[in-house]
Structure 1
């Protein structure tokens, strides 16, 4: 597992950036970079289970199972990933779940009319190159939507 960090500065108020990043309609827009059908099911509320979902190349639902560990609107969100979604099955025990377990944290800092978004994420070995290439593109998309 490797800890990775990604940052971008957006010319928009912190509340707009925060709400755009986790909003039901806008989350899908910036996360299409990861999967064109990207979405979430659940609430952005401390202690809540949240599913990050999409469909794979053959139309099967898949994704990540997470718990919102911290939510300090609009400064910080911490998601702990506890497993995978395979169709309608949540896999939260065993070696597969352990391989994907980790945290993804969003921090928001404001300076004037600009907001810096920092993403700290635990990445397993098989996803390292993918996230290194894709996460900056996703943050560019978030920036485009917010500005």
Structure 2
């Protein structure tokens, strides 16, 4: 498992960045910035099902090239609004099934994804720390900067 970190300066209050990043007022803001991870040719955006509340299960889902639903089964370990969100990934979504054991899951089990929001003089620094399977490190190293750049555009408009 590899640890990756990405930072983005955004000229907006932390509370605004937090709400837009998580899609709390309108899920479309979440779907917009995360489109870098789920570039579906038919235009169906990736999304989430569940709640960002601490202790809640949340599914991060999208469609693969064949139109099959897939994604991650996760738990919100912490959610301090406009400060910090911690997500633990513990399974995979495969069609309508949630798979939480087996070889496919083992490479992701326990992977963390943390979002930290630090505001100073009207600028919020979003820091994303995540663990990923070695096989996906290069892909995420390309996708995350694009996603955070799009989040910046959304928050600053």
* TM-score tier after normalising by the smaller chain length: over 0.9
Q: What is the distance in 2 between the residues matched to 1:33 and 1:133?
A: 9
TM-score of the pair, normalised by structure 2 = 0.92
- CA-to-aligned-CA distance 1:84-116 (integer Å, 9 cap, x gap): 100011111122112112000000000011000
Number of corresponding residues = 147
Aligned counterparts of 1:43 and 1:17: Cα–Cα separation in 2: 18
Residue in 2 that maps onto 1:78? 86
In the alignment, structure 1 segments of 5+ residues that lack a partner are none
CA shift, 1:125, in A, is 1.1
Aligned to 2:155: 146
In the other structure, the counterpart of 1:117 is 126
Choose 119-128 or 91-100, whichever is displaced more: 91-100
Partner of 1:64: 72
User: Which runs of at least 4 in structure 1 moved beyond 6 Å after TM superposition?
Assistant: none
Cα distance in 2, alignment partners of residues 115 and 49 from structure 1:
27
CA distance in 1, matches of 2:132, 2:138: 10
Cα RMSD (Å): 0.7
Query: Which consecutive unaligned segments of at least 5 residues does structure 2 have?
Result: 40-44
1:39 aligns with 2:47: yes
Give the TM-score taking structure 1 as reference length.
0.98
